[in-house]
Amino acid sequence: MAVALLVAAGRGERLCASGPKAFVTVAGRPLYAWSLDALRAAPSVSEVVVAVPEGVEAPGGVAGGASRSESVRNALAAAPAAEDVVLVHDAARPLVTVELIEACVAGLEGFDAVVAATPVTDTVKEAVDGIVSRTLDRRALWSVQTPQVFRRPMLERVLSQPAEVLAAATDDAGLVEAFGGRVGIVPAPPENLKVTTPVDLRLAELLLRRRDANHVGGVDGTHIS
């Protein structure tokens, strides 16, 4: 069994919303509620701790930190010590499924951490001041998402580093790699998108409404196809 940390304490400035990103309404509910439901429905998740922005109340919520990894650290400190496996998920990915959560937990066997990821479909180039310096080999590239699953002692060790190290990390698995840990990939479906811009929000809204319609026979009695 695993304890899940749902990080929802970001400001989401790129979304241009009036409040914190995880609390904007998408398909009729706060953004974070969609992944909270999936985590609660996952058989291998025993408990969910949510990192929320300062001053926001949410069930099972603890105050987040100044950076994403600091929010993870705060949520981990509030998580029951009984579980040795910790799953971290971004509230900004509302389309996560129970199947993906289970695949990530099961995939930890033989690794210090595993990350959900999709193969990169664009060609990726490195450029400095608008001039291309090299083209990367796409066959070896993965776009990394959450869920990310960790062995608790390793996650605690990497998150005990100074705030400036945590602030520079874009994900926690990167901290494990820097520590020499073995990190595995769990292939994820392309729908597991991250809501960053208003366009992402529109797409997530469409996909969530369609999923809801398929599950309960129509939000308003109609099916979207």
- Interacting residue ranges for ligand C5P, rule: CB under 6 A: 7-10, 21-22, 51, 64-68, 71, 90-92, 194, 196
Q: How far is CA 141 from CA 104, 105, 121, in A?
A: 19, 22, 9
Q: How far is the CB of 134 from ligand C5P (least distance, A)?
A: 26
Q: How far is the CB of 44 from ligand C5P (least distance, A)?
A: 21
Looking at beta carbons only, is 64 or 147 nearer to ligand C5P?
Answer: 64
Tokens of 69: 């990894």
Q: How far is the CB of 167 from ligand C5P (least distance, A)?
A: 9
Looking at beta carbons only, is 2 or 92 nearer to ligand C5P?
Answer: 92
Task: Say which amino acid occupies 221.
Answer: G
Distance of CA 95 to the CA centre of its chain: 10
Q: How far is the CB of 174 from ligand C5P (least distance, A)?
A: 13
Helices and strands: H and E segment counts in the chain: 7, 11
Looking at beta carbons only, is 62 or 186 nearer to ligand C5P?
Answer: 62
Looking at beta carbons only, is 207 or 219 nearer to ligand C5P?
Answer: 207
* 175 and 169 Cβ atoms separated by less than 8 Å: yes
Which residues on adjacent β-strands are paired with residue 88?
Answer: 5, 148
Q: How far is the CB of 71 from ligand C5P (least distance, A)?
A: 3
Q: How far is CA 33 from CA 39, 91, 140, in A?
A: 10, 8, 34
Task: Say which amino acid occupies 168.
Answer: A
Looking at beta carbons only, is 90 or 112 nearer to ligand C5P?
Answer: 90
